[in-house]
Amino acid sequence: MMGQQVEQAALFYEFRLEERVPEGHLLRRVDAILDLSFVREHMAPHYSTIGRPSVCPELMVRMLLVGYLYGLRSERRLCEEVDLNLAYRWFCRLGLEGRVPDHSTFTKARHGRFRDSGLLREVFERLVEQCLRAGLASVEHVAVDGSHVLASADPYRRVARRDELPREAASRAVREYWEGLDETAPDLEGVERTAPKHVSMTDPAAAWSIKHGPGRFAYGLNAVVDTASGIILDVEAAPARLGDEPKASRIMVERLRKRHGLAPRVLTADKAYGSGPHLAWLRDRGIEAHIRVIEHLERHERRRQTAGQLPRSAFTYDAVFDSTICPQGARLAATKGDGSIVQYVSSVKDCRPCPIRAGCTSGLRRKVNRSRYEDVRQEVLAREATPTFQASLRLRRRIERLFACIKHNDGLHRLRLRGLRGAGEQFLLAATARNLKHMAMALTRAEPISG
């Protein structure tokens, strides 16, 4: 006989929220390692001492972490899920009767107190410190890379020049863009800057990218990762331009030194980081670069190179006298350099009677360009054949898998916030959530994570 459920209301219920969250649940494991006791003290200077009590900042941080742990990017939906899910309520310390804040509260806090205080950065950095102290991560061998993440910008709402952007009655993202132009760090030496092809009217800080099919506006998610553990040591948001990736890596390496007093021993990256100025910057800081060197010098050098038949490799550089020696033994003297390029020019007296002149140059003298960073380029090139270098290149692939997890598993394939600061906050939360998952698995390997 088919049974039928009959609802019978009880007068009293004995219910404990603590018992409804399984031992192996992800949030229970995360809660065991997450320490947010510093939040109130950190945020105290940014709140008034009078007036009505506001929403607890620790509650908002916990709710944001729930959203990034479970791929809930919409803050409206996040509030609905926290209100209904018992495990979320337990993690956020809301109990059964606690009131979930309105989704608009996050917007006000994000553009106000959270941004002014750098709270999200502080949460991330303290978690990294916890990983370093516990031996879960180190800076012995790190990988650096960047990945494009689509911006919240319509590709058809664009202008050709930034001067066409409105200054009066502009959106928040446009105002932040104009305010940030004067604060932008100088470009790296050896990186040629060209005017952007398109400028977004809704998010002008994003860069036009055609890396993955049709043109879209995007930001660069740049990260430093410990290759042994997969822990993210730092993240930095930048426009999705190839030339901004080395600059972002310098910012992150310097921040590791200032915040944690540590510098990587070995740094591996792809060929986009193999320019002479960047390799020299790493060497000056005692960091061993395992990066494939860009084979050719800058386009600037190739444009100025003569149409001679003898290649540049046929000439020998003399570091003692800072000159170049041709195959016939004549010296080419250094002239005034241009940027990172030094030009060496032969004497007409040497070239006129030279027996191989016709195969060397069609002019009266031969000119040879040499990078100011040729010594460090050769140093890294000699390292490429070593087994440790090849092993580093294989370990570098782990950061590619990390980007795949953040985009597809964690749902950060497209940004919701606009502006460079908004992109940076989303990257910080995504990295914090990813590190929490790594720590939860590393510290409690005995049982699989549920939830």
For the domain that residue 205 is a member of, what is the CATH number? 3.30.420
**Lowest mean per-residue pLDDT among 29-38, 159-168, 312-321, 412-421:** 159-168
Region 221-230: mean pLDDT is 93
Is the same domain home to 396 and 286? yes
In a domain, 240, yes or no: yes
Is the same domain home to 83 and 204? no
List the one residue out of 236, 215, 373, 227 whose CA is nearest residue 293.
Answer: 373
Average pLDDT for the chain: 84
In a domain, 128, yes or no: no
Is the same domain home to 288 and 314? no
Q: Which residues pair with 334 in a beta bridge?
A: 344
Is the same domain home to 75 and 173? no
In a domain, 222, yes or no: yes
In a domain, 435, yes or no: no
Structure-block tokens of residue 355: 């027996």
Is the pLDDT at 302 greater than 50? The verdict is: no
| Residue 389 DSSP SS3 | helix
Is the same domain home to 249 and 157? yes
pLDDT tens readout for residues 76-98: 999 999 999 999 999 999 988 88
Is the same domain home to 148 and 247? yes
Region 306-331: mean pLDDT is 80
Is the same domain home to 243 and 101? no
Residues 362, 334: contact at Cβ < 8 Å?
no
In a domain, 122, yes or no: no
Length of the chain: 451
Is the pLDDT at 388 greater than 60? The verdict is: yes
Number of domains in the chain: 3
Is the same domain home to 149 and 112? no
In a domain, 123, yes or no: no
In a domain, 90, yes or no: yes
In a domain, 379, yes or no: no
Region 5-9: mean pLDDT is 60
Is the same domain home to 35 and 163? no
Is the same domain home to 61 and 85? yes
Structure confidence at residue 153 as a pLDDT band (50, 70, 90): confident
Distance from C-alpha of 181 to C-alpha of 196, rounded to nearest angstrom: 14
pLDDT tens readout for residues 414-448: 898 888 999 999 999 999 999 999 998 887 654 44
Cα 43-47-53 angle, rounded to 5 deg = 110
Is the same domain home to 403 and 309? no
CA end-to-end span of the chain, whole Å? 36
Cα 74-80-85 angle, rounded to 5 deg = 115
Is the same domain home to 285 and 317? no
Cα 280-250-431 angle, rounded to 5 deg = 145
pLDDT tens readout for residues 183-203: 554 555 545 556 677 888 888
| Residue 384 DSSP SS3 | coil
Q: Domain range spanning residue 335?
A: 299-372
pTM of the model: 0.85
| Residue 2 DSSP SS3 | coil
